Structures are given as C-alpha cells and as structure tokens.
Structure 1
Amino acid sequence: MVATIDIETADGVVRGRRGRRVLRWRSLPYAAPPVGDLRFRAPQPVPPWTGVRIATEFGSASMQHRAGARIGPRTYQPTSEDSLTLNVTVPAAPSAGPRPVLVFIHGGGYLIGTSALTLYSGSRLALRGDAVVVSLNYRLGAFGYVDFSGFGTPQRPFDSNLGLRDQVAALKWVRRNIAAFGGDPDNVTIFGESAGAHAVLALLATPAARGLFHRGIAQSPPADWALNAEDAATFARRCLDALGADPADAARALIEAPANDIRKAVDRTSRAVLSELPGLFPICPVIDGEYLPHSPVDAISDGTAHRVPLIIGTNREEGALFARFADMLPTNPARLHKIFERAGADTEARVTAAYPGYPQPSVAVRMGGDYVFWRPSVTVMEGHSRYAPTYAYRYDFAPRALRLAGVGATHAIDLIPVFGAADSPIGRAFTAAGGRRGLLAVTDQFQDNWISFARTGVPLPSWPVYTETSRATLIIDHPTRLEYDPEGAKRLAWKGIRVPTLT
C-alpha cells in the first residue's frame, strides 16, 4: 500500500506520496486549465475543489512535439493544453523552522520540456539543503510565446507573454501555499537552465513578479532573447500564414484550430526564421510595453529590474551539444557570417581574431555557443552587478567520456551536479571512462553554493562578488578555481553585438 500525506492548500486538500526520505506532490494546479475560452488568455485562478485531490502521479506536459516530452528511454509524457501544474518535493524529516524554497524552471528553448523529468524532482537537493524544491510546467511554443494579441477581438481578446504570465502565476501559488508544505514564502529562490535561465532574467524584468522571489540563479541563459512588438507581430502573421488562416478571420482560426495544428505551424515558422536569421530565436518573451516593459538585458542594465542577488554563468562548450544533436545554433562559419554581416563592417574580423584557429569546425562551435549564451550573460553580469550582488561562474568540468564524445563541458551538463545525479544512470554513464571523483567534487561545489545562496543570499565565502573592475569568476572544475576576467579578449571582441531583428 502506498503511503500518502494530505495537505490543505488555498484551493483544496491535495494528497501526495510519502517516501522513506522525501514527500512528493505531483501536478498540483496553479492556474485554471487554459482551454476553451481561456486559450491564449492570461492564467486564471484555480477553481477550488471539495474532497481530496490525488497528486501522486504526473498529468500532462505542455503542448509540444512528442519528442520534447520524453521522460524515459521509451516513455513519453502525454501533452495537452491543460498543463499548468507544479510539483513539490520536501524532506520527510521534520524541520526546526520554515525551509528555504527553490523553484526550478525547466529549459527547452521555450518549445519543449517538462517538469516530470526524474532529474527535476530535486529530492537530493531538498535533502542536502533541508529545502523545499518546486518544479513547474508553463505554456510553450505557440501557446506560450507567440504574441497573437493583435488578432484578438473585443469579444475574444488574446494576451501576450503567456508563458511568462504562467511563471508569475506559479510564483503566486508558492506565495499563497508553500507554508503549508513547510516552506518559507519570504525566502524563495528561482533557478533555471537554458530557456529556464532566461525565464529567471525575464522575471527580474517583470513588474508583476516583484516580491514573489528573493534571489535568482541563471544557468546558461540566452540572455538577450526578446522580440520587440513589431517583430512579434510580424512573426505572429507568419505563423497564421503557415496555419493557412485568413488574417481577417484569425481569431476564429486560433480559437477553433486543433492545438497540434497550431503547434506545427508555429514550429515550421520558427525553423524558417532561424534559417533566415541565425541567432534570432522568435519563440521568446515580447517587449509589449506593459507586462514586459523592457527586454531583460536592458532592464537589468538600466537598474529597473528587481535588485535581488543573482548567480549567473555558462558552460565552457555550450555549442557542442547543438552541433552534435540539435542543429539550430549559429555553430558553423556560414551562419556566423550572416550574424556578422548585420552587426557592422569590422565585426567579423574583430571577433574571429579573438578565436585562433577559426574557421576550424571546433572553433566555430565554440564561437556560436559563446555568441548565444556567454556573450549576453556577460552583459547581465556587468549590468546587474551595479545594483545588486552578482556572482559569476563558468562550468568547465568534463569527464573523459564527454571529451571522447567531442562535447566536453557542454550545454545542460551542469544539471547533473546541481541536482546531485552522480548516481543516476546518466551520471554513471558520463563517468564510465573515469571522472567520478571529479563529478562528486563539482556536485559538492554546486549544491553547497546553491544551498548557501538560497538560505542567505550569499554563496560560500570562497566565491567573491562579480564587479566590472574585478570580474571575479568561479571556474567550476576539478579542482575549482577563481579567475579574474576569464577570456577577456573574447569578451571585448563581442562587446556591443546584439541579436538581429526580424523587421
């Protein structure tokens, strides 16, 4: 018989699963299902229920390509528009007081991903830090990050920035309910990887998120993703064309079309834009002047973002994963040349001079990863450090198996030590050719720093703040070390370069 535990939330009683060391609640609704009249609308309150809601199994992932919701070797989570749920993991042992809360936002380019991955449960992190770990779903792709608001009608309006609004709604749920699970609503850290890390920065720039979190951790954010309103409208029109919808009757088409048809049309249009303009990722938050008044990078740089402590960093070989397995980044000379053409006459010569060996394929891959992830992250480090404590890192650790595979310390590899997954099948596979001791050491580095930061707003004393003068950066490796202005010549070469615009 499965041991269970009931908790009373503001919306009703939920029943989770009691394990030997942790308690888990899965797929708790934080907003009403965004279906029917709520499709393309801002998240609405959860309808309260009577009785006990069973929260021991996962529901659906957000609408996406089936492959994005893969949660096992041959297992795929169902996808649905009805997916605005979150999961809570808590140590089973009693605590002397309220626990710090860590809210994880998954990555996947705002197109794919799910909080149901076993890695994201956070059980090891919760136990090590005596913390509450929350993971959440949010609307993706067509339903979360395309701005169809210009095609609404007075009778049937559409809202912008739906995925971002979902994340705020989830944080409001945490604010209202997490004390019932033993968490401290006045000590909430948001953390995310890739698009989830970008979401952390977007929340820093979102007025509606003020006071809902107290610090942030951004792991490999493509920090300057954001569409201006004109580009967003142009992209939305292209998506409607791909759907075969008449612009004069767009509202009806968006209301009535099957969800998967809309998803496919947006995915095709996104791929076309990436081919036309490498480096421009159109599935992202929109600077709508209201919900998101400024791009995250601009808000952080001018001090209008929330001035909370921030950890931010990237991995040394970000681009290698995409070059091998997901060919969508500007990781070859042809795509990089298109970027440089739009960035100014001397840009290509200046940047390539900072990368000896270019245009060798491995150098181009490194350059493309730096362009998407490291370049804009440095801008965030500089800007945020003027207004709030900022801590910079670079993840360099790569066991022999990853080096032999030609990917090294690539994108998303840092999730294994952050979540303490050295003993998981993937953790053991990565160290099958050696490096287990190193992985355990960097796991200690990540988790002890993340936990200290979540508890106090400050990582371990060995990690100094980043300033534009010192540029102190923790290089997480075996052994870990401090560097000051690592790759300074490359940093200067990239300075001032921004992503292209669609119009």
Structure 2
Amino acid sequence: MTNPSAQAPTVQTTAGWVSGLIDEELGIRSWRGVPFGADTSGALRFHAPRPADPWTGIRECVHYGEPAPQPTYSWTDRILGDEDCLHLDIVRPDNEDADLPAVVYFHGGSFVVGSSFEPVLRGTNFARELGVVYVSVNFRLGVLGYLDMRSIGDDAVATPALHDQLLALHWVQDNIAAFGGDPGKVTIMGESAGGGAVLTLMTAAGTQGLFHGAVAQSPPLAQIHSRAQSMMWTRKLLHHLALSRHAELSEIRELDAADLVRAGQSMMWRGGELLQLNSCFAPTVDGELLQSHPLTAFERGDEHPVPLIIGTNADEASFGKFIYQRMSRRTRASGRFLSVYDPAGAEAVLAAYDSATSREEFASLLADAIFWAPTVRAASAHSTIAPTWMYRFDYAPQALKMLGLGAMHTVELSAVFGEPHASRAGTLSRFGGMNGFTEVAEFMQSHWKSFLHDGQPLDSWPRYRQDGRQTMVFDSEPSLESDPKAEKRRAWEKFHMTSWGMGRPELTAELGLEVVEGLE
C-alpha cells in the first residue's frame, strides 16, 4: 500500500483504509478498484464469493481494477481481465454533503463482456449533476459467472455473478455512509444484462432491505436459464474443452481462465442456438437464490415492492433487418424461436407481426421477444404492488437514422449519463448530427434525479397502471403514449415465455428433465 497525497480523499472501509482522487475541474471525488470480494480463481471458482481480505495501511485506489475475464472480439483470441475482479468504483460530488442517495450500477454486455469503468459508465457527469454517490460494480461473466456447473459439481452455485452482485450490495450497506451515501436510500440500476440483474435481484432471496428503488433499462428478462439449458451448455462446454462428459468440476478449476473463456466463445458462436434465443450464459433458476423465473415472481407479486423505472428503446434489435435476405427465412426463423418457448402460442404472436415477412417486422419481433414484451409484463405486474414508471427511448442521432438503426440497443446510455459519444452505439453519433441530444439528456436526467432523491420522477411522468399504460417517450420532443403497440401487447400476454425448452422435447428427454412453466 502507498501513502496518498494530502489532497487525496481517504475513507475507512470494513476491509481497510482507501484513498482516492479529487478532480477540482470536474468537481468530483472518486475511488477506483475498491475490493469488495476476494479472488475467485482456482479452487474458489464457481463458489459464492468471499468478502475482500483485510489490509493494513492505506490502499491507494486511483486506478481501475481488472474486469472479469472476457473476450476482446478482436482479430486475435486475446482474453482480457483477471479472476481477481470483484472491485467497484465510487464517484461523488466534490463537497462535504452527507446522506446523498446511492446508486449501485450493474453493467451490461450480454452476460459475457463489460466492466464497471466503460467510458459511458464512469459516472462523472451523472454523480455531479444528479447529486448522488455512484457505485459501479464488476462481477464474474460468461463461463465463470453465468453458467450453472452444479450438474458436474454440487459445491458450485448456480449463478456466481448473482452472488457477486449480492455481496456488492452488502458492501454498500456496510460502507457507503463513509463515502457520504445514505444506506437507507440505495437504488440499483443497470442496462441490458445489467437491467436483467436489477429485476433478478428484485426477486432473489436475501436481498430484502439492501435497496429501496430500481431502474431497469432494456432488461432481457426472458433470458433466464432453465435446468435444461444449464445442463445442455455444461455438456457443450466439456466438449469444447475436449473433456469427457464424466469430467469433474475439480478438473475445470485447474484450467487456465483464458481457456475457459475461449471455450465459452466457441460454443456460443458454433453451437447454432442463438437463433433459438438460447444464449449460453444467463442466470439460472436454482430453487434457492432464485426460487422461480423472475417474470413468474413478478406476476405472482413475490418481488420486492420498491419503486421502479423500467423501459426499452424503440429499435433495440434493428440489426435484425440485415440477418435474412428472404421473407420465407425470416418467417421460419421467427416461428422457430417462438416455438421453443410455447409451441401452442407461437402462431398468435407471429400473426401480430404479419408473420414477420418484412425486415422491419422481423427486427421488431426479435426486439420485442428479447426486451419489450417481458418488460411490459414485468411493469404491468409490478404496478399493482409498487409505484412503476415505464418509458420508451426514441431519440437517435442522425447517423443511426441514416443507417436504418434508429434508437438501437444501448443508445439511451449517452443521454442518461450525459455523455453524448461514450456508449457503444453513441460512437456512431460522431458521424452525424446530434440535434436535440442536450434537451433529451437534461430531461431524462431531471426525471432520474427526482427518482433517486424522492422515489418518483417529476410530475410530468405519470405512473404506469394497467388501466392506462401511460408510457413516457423520450425524444427531441418528449411525449406520453397510452398503451403503445396494444395489439402486440395483447398477443404476448398469452404467450408462455418463462420456460425455454417446452418446444424441444427431444432435448429435455435426453437430459432426463421435465420442463415446468415458470419453475425451470
């Protein structure tokens, strides 16, 4: 450990003292790479995490910690990150205010990639303008975080990443007051896979009282692994590692983490399952931390009754316009991925999208299946037990409109965080006009700020209720819509989207499993 300068903000945590940075020009204080959990490598792989080991002296937290091991998607097979990855980053305004609302942010990245310190997620503008203590969390990913290995080792936990997130929330309760945050006013927030984490934590056992509000942006809530999926992907992983089907978990723990990540990528891209919405990696319903599918828990009213902002983007899966060239292939693909969940209900949903014959309707169906439809179901259910506000993000930079991508996945992050070019989608905005962005960002941040401080957005955004379904539309000119896409919503209401595998009886029979709606 090193001694900080006299100007460094120094705080005592439960594991030891940490020093950070003051940026007077930006008006913030920050602490980077603060450990909340111990190393997860070797014999500790696939276990629930342990709290960070204590240290003596003052730990200088001025550099971001290593993210979880993950692919780089470059022309090489280089792997980024380290298994000693359970760190978080904290940003707050540079003042002496205490009892500020705390925001705990979980990053997205398809459960495979991402980190707490992606440029758009560093939170400098967000913490200063919204007056909060912002905490961004790293957690395990891919094979190491979102693959249930219990079928080859009963000492594993089903979803290590979810346990990491739970440990981070306990750390916040124990430590955030020392950074000027209020442990009684914690909001969990995330986008994409991170938004899914938010909704999953709302239904998980042992999270009561750890947070008091939630913001879920573009959550893929239907992407929850059934027992059939987790067993299938574990078998495929053994195959891609060239191991016997009878291999034990101890053998996996002896392998290099980079080899596990590469094997996970190989089975994801070569498995032929993505077009059946069967991602390799996702949280698993284990009957313990997750008693049932989160969407089932929402519809039963079993989730924590905290205020919730939830929504999606208008063109989440606009890339889908370019997947298939022929109408017949689009229709067949749509029927295939719908039937995997609900063979009997697929036809009615497909009819609502004109059989997905056009590129636009196919992309819309894909986006709605992954993001919008389960989000509407969750919002509708949650609105009966707690205040709920729903949005749709329509704003798109001119470049994205010209490319036919529109308000694609992740583009709203630039507005929420007040960083116009920092998100993955936002990088394309450098090549086109950004007229109206400042107004959209200020409008969104004003609602988010009100929610984080007071538990509700500004009065101009009415609550989402089943009798009106008022939805805030964020665009250059904000507006309210009542029950957007009502016909399609009604088609999805009868569709069973909580048990992947009901349309794959040959697979579930091979695995010796019975798929039960909502419990797998």
Give the 5 Å matches for 1:387-398: 387-398=385-396
Of the three residues 60, 67, 77, the one matched with 1:54 is 60
2: CA distance between counterparts of 1:427 and 1:66? 19
| Distance in 2 of aligned mates of 1:427 and 1:360 | 27
**1:145-294, aligned counterparts within 5 Å?**
145-152=146-153, 157-273=155-271, 275=273, 278-294=276-292
CA distance in 2, matches of 1:161, 1:468: 33
Q: How does 1:73-472 map to 2 (within 5 A)?
A: 78-95=80-97, 97-152=98-153, 157-273=155-271, 275=273, 278-321=276-319, 332-342=330-340, 347=345, 349-355=347-353, 358-422=356-420, 430=429, 433-436=432-435, 438-472=436-470
Q: Is the 8 A contact 2:70 2:80 kept in 1?
A: no
Q: How many residue pairs end up in the alignment?
A: 488
Contact 1:201–1:296 (CA under 8 A) maintained in structure 2: yes
Q: Which amino acid aligns with 2:242?
A: G
Q: 1:39–1:430: structure 2 CA closer, same or farther, 3 Å change rule?
A: same
What is the TM-score with the length of structure 1 in the denominator? Answer: 0.91
Distance between the aligned counterparts of 2:440 and 2:331, measured in 1?
33
| Identical pairs, percent | 34
* Alignment partners' CA distance in 2, 1:388 and 1:173: 26
Q: Which residue identity is paired with 1:221? A: P
Q: CA deviation at 1:278?
A: 1.5
Change (3 A) 1:217 1:321: farther
Shift of 1:37: 2.2
258-267 or 4-13: which moved more?
258-267
Which residue is equivalent to 1:4?
8
Say if 2:23 is the partner of 1:19: yes
Which range moves more in the overlay, 180-189 or 240-249?
240-249
Relative distance call for 1:407 and 1:357 in structure 2 (3 A) is farther
What is the distance in 2 between the residues matched to 1:274 and 1:89?
Answer: 42
Equivalent residue letter for 1:223? L
Supply the distance in 1 between the matched residues of 2:401 and 2:174 (Cα, whole angstroms): 46
Measure the CA separation in 2 of the matches of 1:373 and 1:423. 24
* 332-341 or 108-117, larger mean C-alpha shift: 332-341
C-alpha distance in 1, partners of 2:162/2:466? 30
SS of the residue corresponding to residue 227 of structure 1 reads coil
2:71·2:80 contact (CA, 8 Å) conserved in 1?
no
Give CA-to-partner distance per residue, 1:400-442, whole Å, 9 cap, x none. Answer: 2210021101100000000001376986862653333x11111
State the SS of the aligned residue for 1:135: strand
Give 1:122 deviation, angstroms. 0.8
Picking from 33, 36, 43, the partner of 1:37 is 43
Separation in structure 2 between the aligned mates of residue 344 and residue 295 of structure 1, nearest angstrom: 16
Contact 1:321 1:411 in 2 (8 A): no
Query: Aligned letter for 1:39?
Result: R
The 1-side partners of 2:427 and 2:161 are apart by: 34
Q: Secondary structure at the match of 2:311?
A: strand
Distance 2:320 2:168 in 1: 30
Deviations 1:323-356 (A, max 9, x none): 669xxxxx94442121244456675553344335
Unaligned runs of 5+ in 2: 324-328, 502-506, 509-520
Give the deviation of 1:322 after TM superposition: 6.2
Offset of residue 234 of structure 1: 2.8
Aligned equivalents of 2:164 and 2:386: distance in 1? 26
Unaligned runs of 5+ in 1: 71-75, 326-330
Counterpart CA distance in 1 for 2:417 and 2:407 is 16
| CA distance in structure 1 between the partners assigned to 2:426 and 2:225 by the alignment | 37
Distance 1:402 1:434 in 2: 10
Kindly state the Cα deviation for residue 495 of structure 1 after the two structures are TM-superposed.
2.4
